[in-house]
Structure 1
Amino acid sequence: MADRDWSIETLHDDYRQALRIDAVHYDSNTDLQRIRVLENARFGRFMTLDGVVQTTEGDEFIYHEMMTHVPLLAHGHATRVLIIGGGDGGIAREVLRHPSVTHVTMVEIDAGVVEFCKEHLPSLSAGAFDDPRLNLVIADGAAFMRESDAEFDVIIVDSTDPIGPGEVLFTDTFYGHAQRRLRPGGILVTQNGVPFMQGDELTNTMRAFKALFGDATCYLSTIPTYAGGPMAMGWGTDGDARHVSLETLQTRYAASGLACRYYTPEVHKAAFALPGYVARLMP
């Protein structure tokens, strides 16, 4: 099959991955970036921004469950959550599955991403945008973090890779503003790429986190779409939530009513056990 029938991702100079295009559902340019919604027989519908795969129907549950349920169940009594990015609605969907959460602010820079995901990838948000607990703000996430005086129990940064509009969300200044938006015991979680392929990204984030938080590390999750090894999710808090016991996590998970496809309390605990090559990326 010719290259024109494949979506070839060129995020890395020396590595390529490709998904066969079985159908094209959307292809348009916004003011900020080119958005495409394509279909693959194995992964279902998938979205690309400037040629880089962001999410697929087939395995999105892994990313979204691990980005949300790890901090929320570790925290144990979060009521106010901030999402930076996440225009497909998957993070919001998982956060809002927690009945204890009373308010979610979601800041997305590109209204076009939200609108076409509602139309072309509705399973990702699964009605989250209609939940009265969700306040959707179309704005620059870095500016919101700098200017807002609101405080949150959990902040989830569901950013694109540190290129283009997403680059500012990986700076020390941004993380500093995020730290000031956390309530006591609050947790900041970030998307930090695949360490085997993007080691500098994790190292730089962890250097900033260690200057800001009493507990700064990352945890891992294996997501087929994000090839090259497990994905790292940055973790920063001044509390002791990372060390919550397995028994407590099991109790909280049962009480939440969640029935996850990837997350379990056991996976939660194991995700913080880092392979040597990842641990050596930590400053």
Structure 2
Amino acid sequence: MSSNKTARPADQTETWYTETLHADLRSSYRCRKVLFDARIDHQHLVIFDGGRFGKVMMLDGVTQLTTSDEFIYHEMLTHVPILAHGDVREVLVIGGGDGGVAAEALKHRGVQRLTLVEIDAGVVDFSKAHLPEVSRGAFDDPRFELVIQDGRDFVADTDRIYDLIVVDSTDPIGPGEVLFTEGFYRDCRRILRPGGVVVTQNGVPFFQAAELEQTIRFFSALFADATCFLAAVPTYTGGFMALGWGSDDPGLRKVEPAVIARRFADAGIETRYYTPELHHAAFALPKFIGDIVARGRRR
């Protein structure tokens, strides 16, 4: 689970960053220019100009986002649960120090407060300085609140209640590992208002089936509705990315398309990936992913 900066033998003037997140796959980005490279508290953070991919951000050798397609991931993590719920006022984001989820969620006028819990203050400072096109002013929104704390500890200790919890975590490696545990999800359930939603980053099922299956197993013990929905993010190699979904209200996934369309129109927001039509289609799972979800529900 590491990354190596290598020069392509055919052209020693070109530098490539290679990610080896998956056992049978290596993916490389051509680096036109290193923009930032340093260890910040718990993590090694790198950002470079990746050409077609825009700015590429890596933590501990694993790609977190590219500015060319981050909108897909962030829009789906936020607009799907917010528009399905219909009255989200209090949002909790665990991780997400780049500000992308916050920027999308705060497009909704009904959101009264968004609390972002990030383990490293340096990640937020870095994002403000080097990725302002991702946060788009979210850190300065009066409804935005930043808490520097381990997300696991925050959900275990807080008495506040939320309509939506977004777990915008890294993969279950290092500091992010605790955000995939049964205890963490149980605490999320405790601080979720009735009828609320928890959504999670659950990787690419083609490569990370066990990760999704485990989350669904934990969710099934906590929520009346436990499943995932999908987004196709080019940066995350391997096909569809799974976004976990947990709620005590199974009806949220069955809101009439006309209602979703009306809520979207009333919100008056602009998107580049999300549409009301895609909203419902995202819950239609290819059979192999549906089988993973079914296995998680059985255990």
TM-score, L = length of structure 2? 0.93
Kindly indicate whether residue 180 of structure 2 is the aligned counterpart of residue 180 of structure 1.
Answer: no
Match of 2:150 among 131, 137, 140: 140
Deviation at 1:15, TM superposition (A): 0.8
Match of 1:162 among 162, 172, 188: 172
Deviations 1:218-274 (A, max 9, x none): 000000000101000000001121111100000000000011100001101000000
- Counting only pairs closer than 5 Å after superposition, residues 19-30 of structure 1 correspond to structure 2 as 19-30=29-40
Counterpart residue identity of residue 137, structure 1: V
Counterpart residue identity of residue 99, structure 2: G
Kindly indicate whether residue 115 of structure 2 is the aligned counterpart of residue 105 of structure 1.
Answer: yes
Match of 1:278 among 260, 264, 289: 289
Counterpart for residue 8 of structure 2: 2
- SS at 2:164 equivalent: strand
- Counting only pairs closer than 5 Å after superposition, residues 1-283 of structure 1 correspond to structure 2 as 2=8, 5-239=15-249, 240-282=251-293, 283=296
Deviation at 1:31, TM superposition (A): 2.3
Counterpart residue identity of residue 243, structure 1: K
- SS at 1:100 equivalent: coil
Tell me, yes or no, if the aligned pair for 2:84 and 2:255 is still in contact at 8 Å.
yes
Counterpart residue identity of residue 43, structure 2: Q
> In structure 1, how many angstroms separate the alpha carbons of the residues matched to 2:35 and 2:125?
14
Percent of paired sites with the same residue: 55
Counterpart residue identity of residue 98, structure 1: H
> In structure 2, how many angstroms separate the alpha carbons of the residues matched to 1:113 and 1:245?
39
Counterpart for residue 4 of structure 2: none
Deviations 1:65-97 (A, max 9, x none): 000000000000110000000000000000100
Deviations 1:29-57 (A, max 9, x none): 12211000111110111100011110111
- SS at 1:98 equivalent: coil
Counterpart residue identity of residue 46, structure 2: R
> In structure 1, how many angstroms separate the alpha carbons of the residues matched to 2:40 and 2:66?
20
Counterpart residue identity of residue 138, structure 1: I
Counterpart residue identity of residue 2, structure 1: R
> In structure 1, how many angstroms separate the alpha carbons of the residues matched to 2:49 and 2:256?
41
Which stretch of the first structure deviates more once superposed, 4-13 or 96-105? 4-13
Which stretch of the first structure deviates more once superposed, 12-21 or 162-171? 12-21
> In structure 2, how many angstroms separate the alpha carbons of the residues matched to 1:16 and 1:104?
36
Deviation at 1:281, TM superposition (A): 0.7
TM-score, L = length of structure 1? 0.99
Deviations 1:77-135 (A, max 9, x none): 11000000000000000010000000111100011111111111110001100011011
> In structure 1, how many angstroms separate the alpha carbons of the residues matched to 2:258 and 2:214?
34
> In structure 2, how many angstroms separate the alpha carbons of the residues matched to 1:120 and 1:234?
29
After superposition, the CA RMSD in angstroms is 0.9
- SS at 1:99 equivalent: coil
> In structure 2, how many angstroms separate the alpha carbons of the residues matched to 1:278 and 1:227?
16
For structure 1, which runs of at least 5 residues remain unmatched after alignment?
none
Deviation at 1:19, TM superposition (A): 0.8
Counterpart residue identity of residue 76, structure 1: G
Tell me, yes or no, if the aligned pair for 2:41 and 2:122 is still in contact at 8 Å.
no
Displaced runs of 4 or more, over 4 A: none
> In structure 1, how many angstroms separate the alpha carbons of the residues matched to 2:146 and 2:185?
21
Equivalent pairs counted in the alignment come to: 283
Counterpart residue identity of residue 129, structure 1: F
Tell me, yes or no, if the aligned pair for 2:229 and 2:244 is still in contact at 8 Å.
yes
> In structure 2, how many angstroms separate the alpha carbons of the residues matched to 1:175 and 1:222?
25
> In structure 2, how many angstroms separate the alpha carbons of the residues matched to 1:183 and 1:91?
20
- SS at 2:278 equivalent: helix
